[in-house]
Amino acid sequence: MPPGGPTVHKSTSAGGLPPQAIKAIPVRHYGRWISAVLVLGVLSLIGVAFANADVNWNVIPDYLFFDTIVRGAANTLLITVLSMTVGVVLGIVLAVMRLSKNPVTSTVAWLYIYLFRGTPVLVQLFLWYNLALIFPVLNLGFYKDEMTDVMTPFLAALLGLGLNEAAYMAEICRAGIQSVDEGQTEASHALGLTGTQTMRRIVLPQAMRVIVPPTGNEFINMLKTSSLAYAIQYQELLKAATDISSRTLAVMEMLFVASIWYLFLTSIFSIGQYYLERRFARGATRNLPPTPLQKIRANLTRLSHRERVA
């Protein structure tokens, strides 16, 4: 090295001595301790209030797995999954239509979204349910029947919730499709893929990464919004709970039972959403974040390793 040139210190670890770990006094977080005490205080006050409240706690576990309740929860799950399926499929179609160069299809999609997003879902449920008032007979040419027989609470709930959801999903999908870099479409076109192939093979799979998180949110929302179908006599969870409480007068208890079921169902969906998001993050991040299970395993091995070092 020429004199006056920069001096380079060789890493000490290379010389044989391992670098000494820093020993410092960590920052004390007094605020966390104070807030924890406050939160515990408030929680215990709420606990005391509920313990003294006029709640018949014993009936809750009894009714949690009551036949009507379980069937109601199953119906809630069913209508949620079916309505979301209608919503997602129709939503993607509407989004593609909305972005189409064809002015007719894009206007149709715009009008659909305008109508179904602009009116309350409860109103839409009532409209479907009462359709027989204006169309007493359903005549599709190949199929003819009394509307009151066709428009069951289930079908009215499915149409009301599903078609409304499609309008929201269309906007979510549109945002997802538009988030994909234009270079992707160009590269795909340059290879000779048609517009449809490009959408299906290149754009939509990438849009999914943007579409999935809000869709999970919509799913959880739907799980709860489906309780509105109670107003049109669909036998879902809330309907089951209120039917029982109208006989037993255990109003709050049955609402608690329903809430426990809703919480349980939303938790299940949240877990599913986590893994779905992971699946569609492929290629977007260099390394996928570990799953909770992998995290636990890693922490366990690290713990045992640390013990060995100590």
Partner 1 sequence: MSNMIKTSGHPMVKAEGVHKSFGLVPVLKGIDLEVQPQEVFCLVGPSGSGKSTFLRCINHLEKINAGRLSVDGELVGYRERGDRLYELKDREVAAKRRDIGMVFQRFNLFPHMTALGNVMEAPIQVKGESKSVARERALKLLDRVGLADKAHSYPTQLSGGQQQRVAIARALAMQPKLMLFDEPTSALDPELVGEVLDVMRGLAEDGMTMIVVTHEMGFAREVGDALVFMDDGVVVEAGHPREVLTNPQHERTKAFLSKVL
Token pair 């005490």: residue? 37
Nearer to partner 1 (CB atom), residue 24 or residue 190? 190
Residues 216-255 that bind partner 1 (CB under 8 A): none
Nearer to partner 1 (CB atom), residue 141 or residue 192? 192
Q: What is the dihedral of CA 108, 113, 118, 124, to 10 degrees?
A: 90
Is 83 among the residues that bind partner 1 (CB under 8 A)? no
Half-sphere exposure of 18 (CA within 13 A, CB side): 3
Is 146 among the residues that bind partner 1 (CB under 8 A)? no
The binder of partner 1 chosen from 286, 306, 307, 309 (CB under 8 A)? 286
Nearer to partner 1 (CB atom), residue 201 or residue 305? 201
The binder of partner 1 chosen from 68, 205, 221, 224 (CB under 8 A)? 205
Half-sphere exposure of 122 (CA within 13 A, CB side): 6
Nearer to partner 1 (CB atom), residue 86 or residue 202? 202
Nearer to partner 1 (CB atom), residue 139 or residue 285? 285
Is 206 among the residues that bind partner 1 (CB under 8 A)? yes
CA distance readout (Å), 221 to 76, 218, 269: 12, 5, 11
The binder of partner 1 chosen from 282, 295, 297, 305 (CB under 8 A)? 282
CA distance readout (Å), 275 to 17, 28, 272, 283: 45, 37, 5, 15
Using DSSP, state whether 101 is helix, strand or coil: coil
The residues facing 146 across adjacent strands are 137
Q: Which residues would be at the binding site for partner 1 (CB under 8 A)?
A: 181, 183-184, 186-195, 197, 201-202, 205-206, 282-286
